[in-house]
Amino acid sequence: MSLYAGIDAGTQSLKVVVYDPATKQAVACASEALALDSRDDGSREQEPSAWADAMRTCFGRIDAAVRRRIVALSVSGQQHGFVALDADGNVLAPAKLWCDTSTAAECGQIMDAVGGPGACITSAGNPILAGYTASKLPWTRKHRPEAYARLASILLPHDYLNYILTGRRFCEHGDASGTGWLDVRKREWSPAMLEATDPRRDLGECLPTLVAADALFAIDPAEAAALGVPETVRVAAGGGDNMMAAWGTGAVSAGRLVMSLGTSGTLFAYSDTPVVSDAGEWAAFCSSSGGWLPLICTMNCTVATEAVARLAGFSTRDGDAHIAATIPGADGLTLLPFFNGERTPNLPHARASWHGMDVANTTPAHMYRAAMEGATFSLKYGFDAFVRAGMAFEGIVLTGGGANSAQWRQLVADVFGLPVQVPWQVEGAAFGAALQALWAVRRAAGEGVTPASVCAEHVGMDPARAARPDRRNGDAYAAAYQRFLHYLDAVRADAAASSSIEPAPARIAA
Ligand SMILES: Nc1ncnc2c1ncn2[C@@H]1O[C@H](COP(=O)(O)OP(=O)(O)O)[C@@H](O)[C@H]1O
Ligand SMILES: O=C(CO)[C@@H](O)[C@H](O)COP(=O)(O)O
């Protein structure tokens, strides 16, 4: 009879999934689009109140009888966002998001203050890359001095929704890793990174309390009434959307590689020990299930397919039909899809560029295929770093909106030469949040459950959406990937040569 709700505040929309563990079915789903404020300096911002409004709107769309059966819920959120609150808990400014590249200079300043990227990795496990929360603090000090002066508390997007739900300011280790302030080896805030970010104040006093992944909190009765759920509902710790997608795809024990095709593209795998790259080739994050989650993130995944589909005048939902007649490699057309600047490879000021255009391949279908291929090749570029480090995987579990595309599932299988599976529950992060809540409640009840046992029981794969690699396609993609790397070298050399030149304004939003 008991139901568990997962809430995922993604970049483009907030989604709610209500899961029934007895029948292993999602009994309700709702979503609400979120607007993104994009500015020419690379700023990407949202109003935190819009996430709270969207959460209430989604619950309002769910049958009241279903809501009354919810016993626990958990929140997943886009990582790295900077929510600034004053001492009374009021939001001081729009939240700067993970895809905001306006703070690239501040990333460099923080790393210089610690002694360079290598010293950051030694101190905390990660360099400060474009989009990480830490860089948004000095930016706020410079560009929003009134907000900085009144700043009392810093929360991540999912922490903010937890604050709305419980009135408490807490954070678990998975999403905390994406701030750049967490020492991921020790699982505590890094005094060196905090001091380097702001020597003028004790930043530690602004940060939420770190809690374990199985923590449970009481819901604020007023918010329970607003959502139409019982006052007895427990709120689990939640986590970053990739950490919660790890729950929703079963990546809570070692061996499973997950790829999320959302606004961002990510690749991650669970580990029982910290997995730090000395060269900073991946994000050495913690998981939201008690372990670690080394992760690759590209900033332009469905950003690229959306931009090209918009140009071509069709919806990405219809993209598969448009590219059905095109062949792997797009007849030589290559897109470097860095519309929003990029993190993997690390080119925060880069912009997208087309290469190899001729009269035959400059069609909407070729361009859309090149966008899907380019977004996938960026992830392959990150994956190659995992492989160089000795990691090996037997397959890929796909999640995120792009996993709805049969063409994209086959493309991933062919590019990576690995079989692809897709869980029944394609909303991996929201579903994963529901599973984390289920685990925490069962643990609190004294049941001997682990994240792995919960996922083994509840995460199943849909055989109709599996894809197996095709060798001939793989050869064509290998050649296309080499072209991608070749053009990337040229773009990287150009970025190095023009690093002192102001980047051209970016107008394409995620
Ligand atoms: N059938 C499809 N083919 C290709 N892309 C799709 C399809 N369905 C959804 N998408 C893409 O999925 C994206 C949304 O994915 P999602 O994981 O919900 O993003 P986020 O969590 O970043 O908000 C949209 O940009 C959309 O283009
Ligand atoms: O920055 C990262 C991961 O480090 C992104 O993956 C964000 O967490 C946004 O996720 P989506 O909205 O694309 O799901």
Residue 241 a catalytic site member: yes
* Contact indicator for 205, 212 with CB cutoff of 8 Å: no
In whole angstroms, what is the distance from residue 229 CA to residue 147 CA? Answer: 34
Distance 333 CA to ligand 2 centre (A): 27
DSSP 89: S
**Strand 153-155 to strand 83-85: parallel, antiparallel, or no bridges (unpaired)?**
antiparallel
pLDDT at residue 488 above 90? yes
Task: Work out which ligand 1 atom sits closest to the CA atom of 13.
Answer: 23
pLDDT for position 426: 84
Q: What domains appear along the chain, each with residue ranges and CATH number?
A: 3-249+434-458 (3.30.420.40), 275-285+292-422+470-497 (3.30.420.40)
- For the segment 328-377, what is each residue's pLDDT rounded down to a tens digit? 999 999 999 999 999 999 999 999 999 999 999 999 999 999 999 999 99
For residues 307 and 324, give the distance between their C-alpha atoms in angstroms, rounded to a whole number: 19
**Average of per-residue pLDDT across 96-122:** 97
DSSP annotation string for 96-133: E-TT--TTHHHHHHHHHHHTSHHHHHHHHS----TT-G
Can you give the pLDDT at residue 499? 59
CA proximity to 42, closest of 382, 341, 288:
341
CA-based R_g, the chain, Å: 22
| Ligand 2 contacts CB of residue 189 (under 6 A) | no
| Residue 262 CB less than 6 A away from ligand 2 | yes
How buried is residue 465: exposed, middle or buried, by Cβ count under 10 Å (0-12/13-18/19+)? Answer: middle
pTM of the model: 0.95
Residue 416's CB: how many other CB atoms inside 10 A?
A: 22
Whose CA is closest to atom 22 on ligand 1?
A: 263
Ligand 2 touching residue 271 (CB < 6 A) = no
Which ligand is the nearest neighbour of the Cα of 296? 2
Q: Tell me which residue of 287, 274, 270 sits closest to 172, measured CA to CA.
A: 287
Annotated binding site for substrate: 79-80
Ligand nearest to the CA of 265: 2
Q: How far is the CA of 394 from the centre of ligand 1 (A)?
A: 25
Q: How far apart are CA 309 and CA 312, in angstroms?
A: 5
Share of the chain above pLDDT 90, in %: 95
Catalytic residue among 241, 414, 462, 494: 241
Residue 358's CB is within 10 A of a number of other CB atoms, namely 10
* CA-based end-to-end distance of the chain: 40
Q: Please tell me if the CB atom of residue 344 comes closer than 6 angstroms to any atom of ligand 2.
A: no
Cα distance between residue 103 and residue 113, in whole Å: 16
Residue 270 has φ and ψ, to the nearest 5°, of: -80, 150
The token pair that represents 324 in the structure block? 């059905």
